[in-house]
Structure 1
Amino acid sequence: MYARDNVSGAHQTQEQPTTAQVEAAVEAFRMLSDATRLRLMWLLASGEYDVSSLAEAIGTARPSVSQHLAKLRLAGLVRTRRDGRRVLYRARDAHVRGLIAEALFHAGHEVSGAPRHDD
């Protein structure tokens, strides 16, 4: 075994991602690269919200929030549920919630200068 084989910390049993997996991840990151969508996802990771509540929480107009939610839904990052006439939105699953949390924890360390965590 060569030293370079373990540099990245990857395990030898770990398989390379498929092209479809990489493309799906790139699309998710693309959707999250917008500040409004990331703020929406942070809220949706903690519970269900309707469009009006989300617009008020982040201080953005309802039509804009609706457009962002439509993109997030098409990207598979949010799911919806009807409650009477209202549509409630929530982060799709634990993977998406974890992705949002990790991205913002990482950003918090970058902004605050907090020490990095080793494996």
Structure 2
Amino acid sequence: MAMTKGAGSSPSAADLAPAAALFRGLSDPTRLAILQRLTEGEARVVDLIRVLGTAQSTVSAHLACLRECGLVTGRPEGRQMFYSLNRPELMDLLASAESLLAATGNQVVLCPVYGADATKKEAVTKR
């Protein structure tokens, strides 16, 4: 999958599908918060619950998604599971995203399709 333009033809929608799936997986604020916490080191579900202030079932569901995407791995120790980032490149991606957000002045928040207002409207519609 080539996301950046280089020598050769432009990538097709099919070529970009894996990247779109990756970014969809990263599009949830809870999953991003989990990943952000895991950049600091391993964490158990109970640790993530404490940091995020969300239910155990929510944290577990998001961890399952991240594990299935190959972004997070679990290491059993006794009856506990310690989660960590599976790919160090993810730290680079998150740092690049923070840099891009800072450079654009967080303009994406104003986007009518994906910004903060659109997210609020989507939440109201789902009720």
Bin of the TM-score, shorter chain as denominator length: 0.7 to 0.9
1:4 maps to what in 2?
A: none
Provide TM-score, normalisation by structure 2. 0.68
User: Which of 52, 73, 77 is 1:58 aligned to?
Assistant: 52
Give the stretch that moved more between structures: 22-31 or 34-43: 22-31
Corresponding position of 1:95: 89
Provide structure 2 residue ranges, at least 5 long, that are not aligned to the other structure.
Answer: 108-127
User: How many angstroms apart in 1 are the aligned matches of 2:103 and 2:40?
Assistant: 21
> Percent of pairs identical after alignment?
35
1:85 paired to 2:79: yes
Q: 1:40 maps to what in 2?
A: 34
Q: 1:30 aligns with which of 24, 30, 34?
A: 24
How many pairs were matched up? 104
Q: How far apart, CA to CA, are the structure 1 residues paired with 2:70 and 2:15? A: 13
Whichever residue aligns with residue 62 of structure 1, its letter is Q
- Does the 8 Å contact 1:50/1:88 carry over to 2? yes
Contact 1:45 1:100 in 2 (8 A): no
Q: What displacement does 1:88 show?
A: 0.8
8 Å CA contact 1:79–1:92 kept in 2: the answer is: yes
1:74 aligns with 2:74: no
Give the structure, 1 or 2, with the largest relative contact order (CA under 8 Å, sep 6 or more). 1
Q: TM-score, normalised by structure 1?
A: 0.72
Give the 3-state SS of the residue equivalent to 2:98 in structure 1. Answer: helix
Q: Distance in 1 between matches of 2:82 and 2:14?
A: 29
Structure 1 runs not aligned, ≥5 long: 1-8, 114-119
Q: 1:101 to 1:18 in 2, by over 3 A?
A: same
